[in-house]
Amino acid sequence: MRKAPTILHLDMDAFYASAEQASKPSLRGKAVVVGGLGPRGVVATASYEARAFGVHSAMPMAQARRLAPNAAYLVPRFGFYKAISEQVMGLLRELSPLVEPLSLDEAFVDLEAGGAAWDEGSARLAGAKLRADIRAVTGLTGSVGLAASKMLAKIASEQAKPDGLVVIEPGTERALLGPMSVRILPGVGPATGDHLRRAGIHTVDEIAEAGEDELVRLLGKAHGHGLYAMALAYDERPVVAERETKSVSVEDTYDVDIHDRVRVSLEVQRLADRCVRRLRGAGLSGRTIVLKVRRYDFSTLTRSETLRGPTDDPAVVREAALRLLDGVDSTGGVRLLGVGVSGLADFTQEDLFAQAAGEGVDQSVEEVADDAPVQERETAAVERRWVAGHDVRHAEYGHGWVQGSGLGRVTVRFETPDSEPGRVRTFLVEDPALEPAEPLPLVEVSGSPSPPVTEDVPGAQASASSVPASLPKSRSGNGGGAATSRP
């Protein structure tokens, strides 16, 4: 019996960049690149307008600037994105108890488990309603794929991009997969893809033709068996609502290699404090402290120490990380540092050393944008610094966002999500009338239910649309040129 296409995969469209465009009317329809703005920064997300110039995620920011010099380059606002993500995940959980988030902007949903769908028709209606609800609640668009398995649902959502819905009908899976690259299958990364290519295997059909025994010979028993099954469109992986957290960690990459040993020690302590805050936020503790150091020559060292019991005490984690650092040669410079805790538990064991050392510990290490890598945030300092793309408020002009700063001045564009493109003004960085602000919601909360779904989704595998629809209350942005921010 063929399974109904009741596994849904949602992928928000160019999430970070779309959220920035929705909150900044002057950037709608413009090329927007979100990521680290330092010399070693990378692109986190590029708007579809920026992608037209060849900019894509994980690209070095310097290369992106060469390809799209007139794009708006913004530092991520992770707290803002998380708030939107929570709204989206809330809508998914209304459909089913089985929601498996993969990231802030991506998740699987088992519609049948929640009674939201039981056949192709009901699944299609649920997917269309979800897209409409996301637009109504957040002002953003998402692409939806529906199929009988997680693998196929993800492929379908990729075909649906941007702002579409694709259903893979039962019985069509093999024909759909056959001509696709082997890289479309889960678990086939660059290394496995190159290995298969050297064996003359480029498409999913060629995997099936090679046979299971050949794949086992090439890739090993577990990987070979699994890959052959997926090439035949078999994917029995369930949607898992809760994933067990195996470790909690934080790391920073530095724009300039750190040579000063004292500075390295201070950075390790700061990272340890950040790690503990995440640990406590998740209600966890851990036994094993891990230090990661990437040196000037790109060699990466990992050191760990296992305590006698789980802890969430910042003094214990900090001092363990420093002991691990003592055994690492940082001569020549350090380009990345990380601190993690594994061996997790949901309880703590009293640690006498922590009781002795933890009293009066100075935990005043300040930081900005706790979740962002160092090239994606401004380090707290005595002088006021303004981060490109982040929100501000002026006593006279109201809400705006930072277009750029330098030479003791900061340029701000004053506009809100539901305003016309705003005016640009420049201030001294010490101007007392200017202060950081919280992001404004993209959609005004009215308390009214979302509008009924009226879109027609024709065809078994048709996309609901081929181009992104305009955002609610969007403006053309013709009131000014594309904004450009420099670090």
Please indicate whether residue 106 is annotated as part of the active site.
yes
Using alpha carbons, list the distances in angstroms from residue 183 to 70, 81, 202, 378: 33, 29, 9, 37
Residue 40 has what DSSP assignment? T
Rounded to whole angstroms, the Cα distance separating 149 from 442 reads 33
In one-letter notation, the amino acid at residue 46 is A
Residue 222: count of CB within 10 angstroms of its CB:
10
Judge whether 30 and 471 are in contact, CB under 8 Å: no
Q: 254: which 2 tokens?
A: 């530095």
User: Per the omega criterion (within 30 degrees of 0), is the bond before 25 cis?
Assistant: no
Judge whether 212 and 225 are in contact, CB under 8 Å: yes
Q: What are phi and psi of 256, to 5 degrees?
A: -125, 135
Tell me whether residue 28 is exposed, middle or buried, using C-beta atoms within 10 angstroms of its C-beta: 0 to 12, 13 to 18, 19 or more: buried
Q: Which candidate in 20, 49, 106, 319 is catalytic?
A: 106
For 80-138, give the DSSP string.
HHHHHHHHHHHHHHHH-S-EEEEETTEEEEETGGGTS-SSHHHHHHHHHHHHHHHHHHH
Active-site residue set: 106
